[in-house]
Amino acid sequence: MKKRVVYMAIFMAVIISFLLYTYQPAKETINFFPIDPSLSFQSASTHLTASESGKRYNLALRVESSLKEPVFLRQDIALLYKNGKLIKVLRDWKQNTAYLSQEDRQKQSESGIFQNVSFHFAEAHPNNKYTSVQTMTDAHLYIIHSKTDPFQSFANPISNDQGEWKTALDRNLEAVTQHALTNGLNAFKLDEKRYTVLPLTSLPSEHKMFFASFPPARQQEIIGRLWEGLYKNYILGIKKEDGTVVEPQNSTIPLLLLDSNHRELFILLTAGDGTPLLLKQQL
C-alpha cells in the first residue's frame, strides 16, 4: 500500500512538472523566435494626420496591422516623437487574433515635426514550435502653427513656404539628435568614428542598408532582438544605474550605433531627466 502511494505521488509530480513546463501563458512582452516563412503580414501601416482647432490643433495617430489568419499572440508598438522627444507610446497585445488597430488623438499648440515608428509582431506555435513574424512601419508629419502663417500639415513640402519651415524644423531636430549623441558618446567614452549611426525612426526604411553586411535572415533576427530589448529596457521604463526606473516620456529618439567590426550594436538615448542611457546588443 505504501509503495502504491509513493508511486502515485511520483506519477502526480511528473504530471504537474510536465504541465508547468509545457503550459506557458502569454505575457505582455516581446520574445524573438525564428521567422516563420509561412507567415506574413497582409497589411501594416502607420498614419499621422492633423486638423486645425482654434488656437490649437488635433493630432491623430493610427496604427494597424493584419495577418491572414489568427495566431497565438499579436503585438503592435508605436513610438511617437515631437521634435525629437517621445510624447506617446501605444501598445496593443492580444491572443488568438490576426488584426490589431490602435488610435491616439491629442491636442497640440506648437509647430513641429512628428515622427512615429511602429513594430508589428506575431508569435505562432505550429506543431509545438515557437516561430514569429515581424515588420515595421513609420510616418512623419510637419505641422506649421504660428501667428504669422496659416495652419498647414504636410509630409513633403509643396511650396517654398513649406520648404523653409521643413528646413527650420529639420535643423532643430538635428540639434536635439546631435546633442543626445554627443552627450552619450562622452558619457560612455565611445569613439564616434567607429560607428555608423541611425535614428530608430529611420530603421523601417533604411534597415536593409544599415545592416547590409548581414544576410536577410540575420537582419530580421537582429531587428527582432533589438525591439525585444527596447521593450524591456525602454518602453516599459528606463532603469538607471542607481536602480530607479523612469518613464520613457520626453526621452530622445534612440540612436543605433553599429560597430565597424559588425560585432556590437549600441543604442544611445537621453532620458527625460537628462540622464544618458546605453543599451548593448551583441551581434
Which residues on neighbouring strands pair with residue 193, listed in sequence order?
none
Residue type, 124: A
Per residue in 54-73, pLDDT (tens digit) is: 889 999 999 999 999 999 99
Parts of the chain belonging to CATH 2.60.40: 41-154
- For the chain, what percent of residues have pLDDT higher than 70? 90
Under the banding of pLDDT at 50, 70 and 90, the label for residue 27 is low
End-to-end CA distance of the chain: 58
Query: 125-129, 135-139, 195-199, 219-223: which has the minimum mean pLDDT?
Result: 125-129
Q: What φ, ψ does residue 105 adopt, rounded to 5°?
A: -130, 135
Contacts of 144 (CB under 8 A, 6+ apart): 111, 150, 151, 152, 153, 162, 165
Tell me yes or no: is domain 41-154 CATH 1.10.8: no
Nine-digit cell string for 193 = 568614428
Per residue in 255-281, pLDDT (tens digit) is: 999 999 999 999 999 999 999 999 999
Q: What's the pLDDT score for residue 18?
A: 40
When the pLDDT of each residue in the chain is averaged and rounded to a whole number, the result is: 91
Helices (H) and strands (E) in the chain, counts: 4, 12
- For the chain, what percent of residues have pLDDT higher than 90? 83
The most confident of 13-17, 33-37, 137-141, 143-147, by mean pLDDT: 137-141
Pairing of strands 245-246, 195-199: unpaired
CA distance 204 to 17: 42
Nearest to 270 by CA among 180, 208, 167, 210: 180
Q: In angstroms, what CA-CA distances link 112 with 87, 166, 174?
A: 12, 9, 13
Task: Give the up-direction half-sphere exposure of residue 267: CA atoms within 13 A in the CB hemisphere.
Answer: 25
Q: Is the pTM of this model over 0.85?
A: yes
Q: At what angle do helices 203-210 and 216-230 cross, to 10 degrees?
A: 130
